[in-house]
Amino acid sequence: MSSRIPADRMQMTVMIESTGENAAESVQRATVKAQAVATAIRAANPATGAVTTMPLPVAPTADWNGFPGAAVANSFTSRMVIRVQLDRIDQLMSLSAAALTAGAN
């Protein structure tokens, strides 16, 4: 005989990505987007646990055009991760939808 214990905590991870002509611009855009997504997650379910944002390193944007191709202006990509603690699995879909609607990748 086996018993099943329901999960009492879950974690959802949301990725934010923005580009800009320079590193500071890409970070600023990612920060604004991350704040909007975190606000949308909290608004979708005020009982949501901790919502934390963590920046990742800024990097030059990869040039996917390859050779030969048109010259592409150099830009920078900034990424942020939002970690959301959940108490119930039935919160997952509504919070995912709120994050995507607010601009999460």
CATH number at residue 23: 3.30.300
In this structure, what DSSP letter does residue 103 have?
Answer: T
Residue 93 lies in a domain: yes
Amino acid in the structure at residue 10: M
Residue 48 lies in a domain: yes
Q: What pLDDT is attached to residue 36?
A: 95
Q: What pLDDT is attached to residue 72?
A: 62
Residue 3 lies in a domain: no
Residue 83 lies in a domain: yes
Structural domain for 33, as ranges: 10-62+72-101
Low-confidence ranges of the chain (pLDDT < 70): 1, 6-7, 64-73
Give the global pTM: 0.80
Residue 24 lies in a domain: yes
Q: What pLDDT is attached to residue 86?
A: 86
Number of domains in the chain: 1
Q: What pLDDT is attached to residue 58?
A: 94
Q: What pLDDT is attached to residue 91?
A: 85
- Phi and psi based region of residue 19 (left: phi greater than 0; alpha: psi -120 to 50; beta: remaining): beta
